[in-house]
Amino acid sequence: MIAAQEMERSRIARDMHDDFNQQLAALSISLSALRRRSLETAELDDALRVLQERTVAVIQQVRDFSHDLHPGTLDHLALVPTLRTYCADFSRRHHLDIHFCAHEPLAPLPREVALCVFRVVQEGLRNIANHADVRDARVSLTQTADLVELTIVDGGRGFDPAARRGLGLLSMEERARLTGGAITIASAPGTGTTIHLQVAVRAD
């Protein structure tokens, strides 16, 4: 788990370097150019508008990365609104149509269970965006008296779970195990992928 955390931090550092540094460098170059040039009012307005749009994009990326790293909304919102917001944000960022549904209201969950569900959704959607070659997916969450169930389904290219044991899959399985749950991944080349998480919850 420590190694996985370090790899995740490394990924975030690379993303920040590749995305933020490039955009901030572009902002710096544009600002320097503005200082050197004598612009008409219309040109200045257009240039400043572009800079403002780039700045807003950087701010949004910082927000997205921060939310991915630490889902602070779990601390003051229930799991369902947190997942609904995350799925909507993920759809916007990756141009995917994510259909999220949940049986409400869910009973309060221990934070470690809620965090496990959230992280599995994160990793599952990330895998869809990076590997599934599909434009839509479904995320559903249900709860009975003593069980929380999460299902993530896509109709993409699929894979052989026995042959591909990447860090993402291992991380999901480890998170499920640490919360006393179980996760199954049903997939095959050309048939899409279904991730099913079950976690038992004890009544207070």
Render pLDDT for 29-88 as a digit per residue (tens, 0 to 9): 777 677 666 556 677 767 777 877 777 777 767 666 666 666 666 665 688 988 998 899
More confident position, 132 or 7: 132
Task: Give Rg (Cα) of the chain.
Answer: 21
Strand-pair partners of 148: 143, 199
Residue 20: pLDDT band with limits 50, 70, 90: confident
Residue pair 113/83 in contact (Cβ under 8 Å)? The answer is no
The pLDDT of residue 84? 92
- Alpha-carbon distance of 96 to 129, in angstroms, equals 8
The pLDDT of residue 87? 94
Whether the model pTM is above 0.75: no
How do beta strands 97-102 and 136-143 pair? parallel
Mean pLDDT of 173-191: 91
More confident position, 195 or 49: 195
